[in-house]
C-alpha cells in the first residue's frame, strides 16, 4: 500500500519487488495486488457518518488527467473535510466528477447526507458558481464562508499591479477586523480610497464582503482555521505530490485508488492526533445564540397577538 500511496507505477513496483525479493512478479500480479486496496478504500469512503455531527465543513476539488476512450481528459476529484462536535478533523469522502458543475457538487453533497452528514453550521469553499448553488440547495440554514485566500486573489487580479501590495494590506485589515461593524467601516474607507483607481477590484470587494466575512460572526478563536479552505488545499498538495510520478492515470479506478489511499493515511493521522479545535466555546456561543433567537421570536409573536 505504501508504494501505491506514493504513486509508484505498476512497472516500478514490479522492478522493486524483484530487486528486493529476488522474485519476479508480473505486472498483472502487481495490478491485482493493488486492486486489493479497492474494498478497503470503498469501505472507508462509504462509512457511516451518523456517529458525529459536523458543525464545520470545508470542500474543494483537485483536477487530475485521466485516459478515457483513447483520450486524456481532465476530471475533478471532489473532497470534503469536517470538524466534528469533539473538535477532531475528518476526511468525509471523495468522489470523481466530470467537472465542478452544480450537478456534480449536488450529487456529492447528497451522497454525504445519505451517509449521515448532519449538523452543518458553517461551510467553507471558494466561489465556484456550481459549488455555491449546490451548497445553497443542500445546506439551507447553514452559513457559507467564502474562502478569503481566493477572495483576495480575485480582488488583486482585478487591480493594477502597482497598487496590489498596498491594497493587500488594507483588504487583510477588513477581513481580520475584530467584528463585522469594524469591518464595514474599514470597507467604506477602502472603497472611497480606491474605487476610481481600481473600480473592478472594488466591485468584487463590495459584492463579496458579506460572504467573505461570515466567519466574523463566530468566536475569535475559530476564525483563523475557518476563514479559508487552506486545510483542504494542503490535502490537494499532498495528493499532487504523490501523483506527479503518474502524471496521466490509466482510468478512474486508479485515481480513486491513489487519492483514496492518500486520504485514508491522512485521516488516520488526524483522528489519532490532537484535536483540531476546542469546541467548548463554540457550543456555549451557539446555545446563547439559540436562546436569543427564541426570545426574539417570542417577542414578535407577542406583538402580533397584542396587535
Q: Could you tell me if 131 and 247 lie in one domain?
A: yes
3-state secondary structure of 26: coil
Distances, alpha carbon 169 to alpha carbons 213, 231, 251, in Å:
16, 23, 45
* CATH code of the domain covering residue 96: 3.30.420.10
- Regarding whether 234 and 138 lie in a shared domain, the answer is yes
Shared domain check, 152 and 129:
no
Report how many domains make up the chain: 3
Q: Say yes or no: 58 and 174 in one domain.
A: no
- The mean per-residue pLDDT over the stretch 97-115 comes to 96
- Is 283 among the domain residues? yes
Q: Is residue 197 pLDDT above 90, yes or no?
A: yes
Residues 65 and 181 in one domain: no
Q: Residue 16's pLDDT is what?
A: 39
Residue 299 lies in a domain: no
- The contacts found for 285-294 with CB under 8 angstroms, 24 or more apart, are 285/218, 285/219, 286/55, 286/121
Mean pLDDT score, 61-89: 96
> In the numeric block, which cell numbers belong to residue 96?
470523481
Q: Under a CB-based contact definition with an 8 Å cutoff, are residues 272 and 57 in contact?
A: no
Q: Are residues 120 and 235 in the same domain?
A: yes
54 within some domain = yes
| 130 and 153 inside one domain | no
Position 24 scores a pLDDT of: 47
Residue 297 forms part of a structural domain: no
Q: In this prediction, what percent of the chain has a pLDDT beyond 70? A: 89
Tell me how far apart the alpha carbons of residues 86 and 276 are, in angstroms, rounded to a whole number.
9
Mean pLDDT for 154-161 is 97
Of residues 10 and 205, more confidently modeled: 205
Same domain, residue pair 216 and 171: yes
Residues 6+ apart with CB under 8 A from 106: 133, 134, 137, 138
Contact 215, 229 (CB under 8 A): no
Whether pLDDT at 162 is above 90: yes
Give phi and psi for 66, each to the nearest 5.
-130, 135
Place of cell 475559530: 222
Residue 304 lies in a domain: no
pLDDT band at 188 (very low <50, low <70, confident <90, very high): very high
- Residues 140, 152 within the same domain: no
Rounded Cα gap, residues 192 and 188, in angstroms = 6
Closest CA to 38 of 226, 217, 289, 253: 253
- The average pLDDT across 166-178 equals 98
Q: 119 lies in a domain?
A: yes
CA distance 271 to 87: 10
With a cut of 50, say whether residue 236 has pLDDT above it.
yes
pLDDT digits (tens, 9 = 90+) for 19-50: 444 444 445 544 555 678 899 999 999 999 99
Q: Could you tell me the pTM of the whole model? A: 0.87
Are residue 190 and residue 247 in the same domain, yes or no? no
**How far, in Å, CA of 96 to CA of 249, rounded?**
13
The answer to whether residue 185 sits within a structural domain is: yes
- Are both 116 and 237 inside the same structural domain? yes
Flag whether pLDDT at 177 surpasses 70.
Answer: yes
pLDDT band at 8 (very low <50, low <70, confident <90, very high): very low
Do 182 and 136 lie in one domain? The reply is: no
**pLDDT for 36:** 80
What does the mean pLDDT of the chain come to?
A: 90
Is pLDDT at 7 greater than 60 in this prediction? no
Would you say residue 189 lies in a domain? yes
User: Over 70: is that where the pLDDT of 274 sits?
Assistant: yes
Contact 64, 249 (CB under 8 A): yes
Q: What's the rounded Cα separation, in Å, for the pair 250 and 256?
A: 11
Range of the domain at 5: 1-36
Q: Which residues on adjacent β-strands are paired with residue 144?
A: 123
Amino acid at each position: 500500500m505504501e508504494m501505491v500511496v506514493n504513486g509508484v507505477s505498476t512497472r516500478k513496483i514490479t522492478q522493486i519487488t524483484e530487486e528486493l525479493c529476488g522474485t519476479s512478479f508480473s505486472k498483472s500480479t502487481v495490478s491485482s495486488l493493488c486492486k486489493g486496496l479497492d474494498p478497503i478504500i470503498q469501505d472507508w469512503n462509504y462509512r457511516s457518518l451518523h456517529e458525529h455531527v459536523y458543525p464545520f465543513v470545508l470542500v474543494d476539488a483537485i483536477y487530475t488527467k485521466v485516459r478515457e476512450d483513447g483520450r486524456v481528459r481532465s476530471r475533478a476529484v471532489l473532497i470534503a473535510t469536517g470538524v466534528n462536535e469533539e473538535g477532531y478533523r475528518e476526511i468525509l469522502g471523495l468522489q470523481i466528477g466530470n467537472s465542478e458543475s452544480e450537478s456534480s457538487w449536488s450529487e456529492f453533497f447528497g451522497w454525504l447526507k445519505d451517509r449521515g452528514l448532519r449538523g452543518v453550521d458553517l461551510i467553507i469553499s471558494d466561489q465556484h458558481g456550481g459549488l455555491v448553488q449546490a451548497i445553497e440547495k443542500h445546506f439551507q440554514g447553514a452559513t457559507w464562508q467564502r474562502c478569503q485566500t481566493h477572495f483576495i486573489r480575485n480582488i488583486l487580479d482585478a487591480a493594477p499591479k502597482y497598487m496590489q501590495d498596498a491594497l493587500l494590506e488594507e483588504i487583510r485589515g477588513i477581513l481580520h477586523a475584530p467584528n463585522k461593524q469594524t469591518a464595514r467601516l474599514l470597507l467604506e474607507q477602502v472603497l472611497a480610497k480606491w474605487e476610481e483607481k481600481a473600480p473592478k477590484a472594488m466591485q468584487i470587494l463590495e459584492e463579496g464582503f458579506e460572504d467573505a466575512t461570515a466567519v466574523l460572526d463566530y468566536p475569535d478563536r475559530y476564525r483563523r482555521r475557518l476563514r479559508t479552505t487552506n486545510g483542504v488545499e494542503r490535502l490537494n498538495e499532498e495528493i499532487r505530490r504523490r501523483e506527479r510520478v503518474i502524471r496521466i492515470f490509466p482510468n478512474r479506478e486508479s485515481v480513486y485508488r491513489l487519492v483514496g489511499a492518500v486520504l485514508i493515511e491522512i485521516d488516520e493521522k488526524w483522528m489519532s492526533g490532537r484535536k483540531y479545535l476546542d469546541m467548548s466555546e463554540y457550543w456555549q456561543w451557539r446555545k446563547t445564540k439559540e436562546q436569543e433567537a427564541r426570545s426574539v421570536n417570542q417577542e414578535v409573536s407577542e406583538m402580533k397577538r397584542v396587535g
